[in-house]
Structures are given as structure tokens and as C-alpha cells.
Structure 1
Amino acid sequence: MVHQPSSRPRLSPSSDTEDMAEMSKVLAPRLAYFAGVARTEHVTRAAQEMNVPQSTLSRSMARLEQDLGVDLFARHGRTVSLTPAGRTFLTSVERALAEVERAAEEVRADADPTTGKVAFGFLHTMGAETVPGLLHAFRADHPRVRFSLVQNYGEAMLERLRAGELDLCLTSPVPDAPDLVARRLDEQKLRLVVPADHSLAGRRRIRLAEAADETFVTLEPGYGLRRITDDLCKEAGFKPRIAFEGEEAETLRGLVAAGLGVALLPPPAVPRPGVVELTVTAPRAAREIGVAWLEGHPDTPPVAAFKKFLLSRRGSLLP
């Protein structure tokens, strides 16, 4: 006998977001039950396979039909068959369940202690040498751990950390925020980079105040190195006259080589022709490098292992 939906009030799909959210909460727990009954076409057999009481399964299917307002099954004694509406619904349910299973497998794989994944962010200036060296050393003991690598400036990485897109990031300055945990790992000296034919190029050391009349090329506002440059120049008693702003330190080094200004930069991975790099004696020109993560965020085993590895490199992070 065909089951007829009762007159019990049911949800009605609408364009209203709250109604759709309510419908999803009602339907979601019953989808696997529905797929099991549809696959076996027998409530008792489906209950046995899914290890749930038959009465629970029968009530769940009846309520699912009531909430949808359509018959999904035609009853034939102890067996059932899908109605046209049921077949249509099953196609989408199987697709949804398959997507859930795929997502579950993905997060399980990412959390696997031996083959899991770490989403790791770092500054552009650390991408040529420092980070490859760190990953090489870490993978000596964890050869199958995978990495999703993101290069960006500090503030952008912290935003992605807060959004859950990164597990850890190397950044500068070391952030001080209540929702983040940060640990200082190392310090990197900054140099005043000048063109090879500059009047200062014959020097090895310089006080930053001696560059007060120079034109500077810097990173854009919002970058940690830009903030450090502005602060150091202020400490030296001047505001830098800026001709060009960029997004990457090696681009700035190229601008200096072209004679377009001077810059405060960390050491390059490979010496660049056309520039001379001077040690700044005053004020003390350096930037702290630290690792940050989201406060209270649980670590998967591979993330915990890589975090422990980074913290063990305090004082020896940089080449």
C-alpha cells in the first residue's frame, strides 16, 4: 500500500535562507538511512546492514516523506520500491553522501601522522633558501608529510591564519595579538643597499642618518619590512623620501641596481651584481622572525610535528 503523507505540518522550501537552513538540519541526518533503504529495497535488511533498529529506520523514512511532502517509497508488504520522486531524490542524495565521504577521506589523510598535510605560510624573502632548507631537514624524519606552501607578506598571512587557511606561518615582525600564539625564532640583520656606482658604495659600514638625503625604494605600506624601514628611519632622525613602492624584496634590489634609490633589505640568497650592501651601525637594523599559529586551534599530528621542529630551530633558523 502506498504511504500517504500525514497532515502533520511540514517544512516548505522557500528562498528564505533561514527556511533552507532549517530544512537542511531536518533532512541531513536521514539521508544515509534513505540511501540504505533505497539500495536494499527492504527496511528490515537495511536496518540489519546499518545496525539500527527497524522501528527507528521506519520512523525516519516516514518523517522524511512528511518533511518533504512527497512519497519516496511505494510499499509492497515487507519490500519497498522507489517512486519517481524517490529516484530523483536518490540521485542527489548519493552525490551528496559521496562528497561527504570524499571530504572525510581528505581530512583523515591530512591528519595522518606519516602522510598528512601542513598548510605553511612564509615571507617572500624566505622562499629562496630558508624555507627549502627547513623542509629538506624536516622531511629527513618525515619523508611523506605533504605541504601546502603560501608566500605572502605578514599581515596577509595572519589573515589567512585566522581564516583557517594556514596552520603555521613564518612572519616578521613577530605578531602580538590575543587570538594568536607567536614565538620568536631568529633575527635577521638588515643592510642598506646602494647602487654599485653610488658615492657610498666604497663604504662597508654606515650610520642610517647618513642616508637621510637619499631616495628610497621600499615595500608597500602594510608589509612588515616597510614598517621596520619607516621606524628605523624615524629613529635615525628623518622620514624617508620614497620614489618606488613594491611587493617583493628582490624587485627592490633590482630597482637599486638600476640607480633608482637605496633600500633597507635582508641579505639576498644569492649576491646580486650592480649593488653594494652596507652594514648599518646605528640604529640597530634587524628584524625578528617568528612562527605564529591560531590560539586554541587543535593541531593534527603532522602540524604538531612541524611546529615542534620549527621551535627546535630557535637561533639557527636562518642560514
Structure 2
Amino acid sequence: MSPNSNEEDIQQVLAPRLAQFAAVARHEHVTRAAHELGVPQSTLSRAMVRLEQDLDVTLFARKGRTVSLTPAGRTFLTTVERALAEVEKAAESVRADADPTSGKIAFGFLHTMGSETVPALIRAFRADHPHIRFQLVQNYGEAMLERLRAGDLDLCLTSPVPEAPDLVARRLDEQRLRLVVPDDHRLAVRKRVRLAEAADETFVTLEPGYGLRRITDDLCAQAGFRPRVAFEGEEAETLRGLVAAGLGVALLPPPAVARPGVVELTVTAPRAAREIGVAWLDGHPDTPPVAAFKRFLLSRRGRLLPEAAPEPATAPEPATGPAGAATD
């Protein structure tokens, strides 16, 4: 092989001949190896000669059609057999993942959907597909979309529903957001509130880059103010804990289980909600398990989310004052 040949050239030359070399080495006979491989004996003989020429190494000691490995040939065979075994292992793995009845789905979703929504979805799907396996990935929206583009995920549930030329996204449901306040907060006696009434409050939010953070900023802007952020986190229930500790207020989706120490208020203006959608890579072929789960998710439009936990009981709302300060 030329000294100027690069690694890619070596792979292109060697890869098609490795199984042929292993068969000849195993049988120590070109004709029997050719019969096993289903190729003419003359074709296999020429291939082995070219392999030795490309490597610039003698792999076989020949006596007629019978051959034996040289020391270099035995060394090469050890590595070739290991490489072929890894190729076969990889092939078995991808075949198993694509199996219609027991294959695998790489599914991404938001942290806020991990405790209730996703387990309920998978339970319902596996009622008809009991042996399908899932690789579950929790992350924030932009990170999941990057993993989708990298081929690490087949599908992801995210919010906001992305608009990108390389992705296909479908809206599945809408989730109302609540203003979460400490139970001793001035607004805690209320059930409903305009977001503008929290303009002077300190907020705890998710970090920039999270879809819910972007929605929070947009809703506050619609209400006429920019939120004063004291704490940024990565998970909604941590934010609820911060609210319960009196460290601020937050706009959050409903919890799976009502948390003590906070009161969750319906936001009447602006309309506080986030769209939940499913996204996948445009033009990416689906395995049968992925196609089945995609159909299942699309069939759940409008009923993707479980019932929200009931709001904690609150004291009666104060009467409306002349200026309407306590109205909802």
C-alpha cells in the first residue's frame, strides 16, 4: 500500500475482505472457503493475493489450494475475528432494536413530565405492546432537540412546540400554568389573579434555555413587566420548594401531587398556558416500534396530560374593592 494512503483508504480496502480472510484461515483451504462464502474459488484466491499486496505482508503459506497461516497471518486473524464478532454484535443489536414486538424507542421529555405524564403514557402504550423497550432521556427543550438532531433520540415531548425546517412537530395538548406563592403570601387568600399583580414580586424560575423560562418571560412581558429573578433552577419541584421557603413566586405547571407550603393561583390575564408537542427529525425513517409509538402519541391529542392535582384549599376571597384591586 502506498505510504500516502490514509486510514480511510485502508478501511475501504480491508473491510470487504475480512470475512473472506477469516473463512480461508478457518478452512485452510481456498476451495472449501469459497464454497462456504458462495463465491468462485478463483475470485477468492485473487482477493487474498490483493489483501497481502495491500498490507505488504505475507499472510498464507500456500501448497496448492491448501494454505496455512504465517505468524503474521495468525496475528492478523486474532484481530480480524474480534472485529467481525463486534460487527455481528452490532448487527444483532440494531436488529433487536428494530424488532416490531420487542424493539427499543429512544424517547426524550421535559423534566416536568417525568413524574406523571410519561409513566402514564408508557403504561397505556405497553398495554398493546408489552415487550417494547424504552430508553428515556429527561432534559430541557433545546438540549433534547440537539440530541434529536444528533440521532440520539427518536422522539421527544417538548414545549414550546418547535418550528425548525429540519424537524417535524405536532401539537398534542395544552397545559395551564399557575402562579405559585407561599401559603402566607398576600395573594394566598385568592384563587385567581392577574399576572400584573405580581409585578413587584421576586420570581424563582428555570434557567435560560428552558422552554418554561422563555414562556415565563413572555407572559410577564405581556403583563407589562420584566420579572425580577432571584433564583434559577433546573427542575420545577425545586422551584416549588423555594417558593414554600418564602424565597419568591413562580409560574409553573400543575404538580402531580399537591405540595404543602404553597398556594397555586389560576392566572386570568394574560392567558397562561404552554403547548406540549412531539417532535422528530424530518426524513428520518422510523423503526416499527418508533412508528407505533408515534401513532399512539398522535392519537392522544387533547388528552395527553393527566388530571392536575387539586388546588390546596384557600381562605375565602376578599370582597372586590372600589378600584377592583382584588378582582380576578
Q: Output the TM-score relative to the length of structure 1.
A: 0.95
Contact 1:11 1:23 in 2 (8 A): no
Partners of 1:224 and 1:178 in 2: how far apart?
A: 19
Tell me which amino acid in the other structure corresponds to 1:46: A
Secondary structure of 1:299's counterpart equals: coil
Please give the per-residue CA displacement for 1:239-289, whole angstroms capped at 9, x wherever unaligned.
Answer: 000000000000000000000000000000000000000000000000000
Return the match for 2:2 from 8, 11, 15: 11
Q: Secondary structure at the match of 1:185?
A: strand
1:153 Cα shift? Answer: 0.4
1:1-319 equivalences under 5 Å are 10-12=1-3, 19-319=6-306
> 1:11–1:68: 8 Å Cα contact kept in structure 2?
no
Unaligned runs of 5+ in 2: 307-328
Structure 1: how far apart are the matches of 2:50 and 2:63? Answer: 19
Q: Deviations over 1:146-180 (max 9, x none)?
A: 00000000000000000000000000000000000
Percent pairwise identity: 83
Aligned partner of 1:237: which letter? Answer: G
Q: Is the CA contact (8 Å cut-off) linking 1:70 and 1:85 kept in structure 2? A: yes
Equivalent residue letter for 1:62: V
CA distance in 2, matches of 1:195, 1:170: 30
SS at match of 1:284: coil
| Distance in 1 between residues matched to 2:33 and 2:65, nearest whole Å | 12
Residue of structure 1 equivalent to 2:315: none
Does the aligned pair in 2 maintain the 1:256–1:263 contact within 8 Å? yes
Structure 2 length normalisation: TM-score? 0.93
Displaced runs of 4+ in structure 1, greater than 2 A? Answer: none
Please tell me whether the aligned partners of residues 119 and 148 of structure 1 are also in contact (alpha carbons under 8 angstroms).
yes
For residue 11 of structure 1, report the CA deviation from its aligned partner.
3.4
In structure 2, C-alpha distance between the alignment counterparts of 1:77 and 1:256, rounded to whole Å = 85
2:66, 2:211 → 1: CA distance? 68
CA offset digits 1:289-313 (Å, max 9, x no partner): 0000000000000000000000000
Letter in 2 for 1:312: S
Over residues 105-156 of structure 1, what are the superposed CA-to-partner deviations in whole Å (9 max), with x where a residue is unaligned? Answer: 0000000000000000000000001000000000000000000000000000
Amino acid at match of 1:51: G
SS of 1:156's equivalent? helix
Q: Secondary structure at the match of 1:270?
A: coil
Amino acid aligned to 1:44: T
Q: What corresponds to 2:320 in structure 1?
A: none
Structure-1 separation of matches of 2:164 and 2:104: 26
What residue identity is the alignment partner of 1:228? I
Is there any run of 5+ residues in structure 1 with no aligned partner, and where? 1-9
SS in 2 for 1:164: coil
Q: 1: distance between equivalents of 2:115 and 2:44? A: 59
Give 1:55 deviation, angstroms: 1.1
Q: Structure 1 CA distance, aligned partners of 2:42 and 2:109?
A: 56
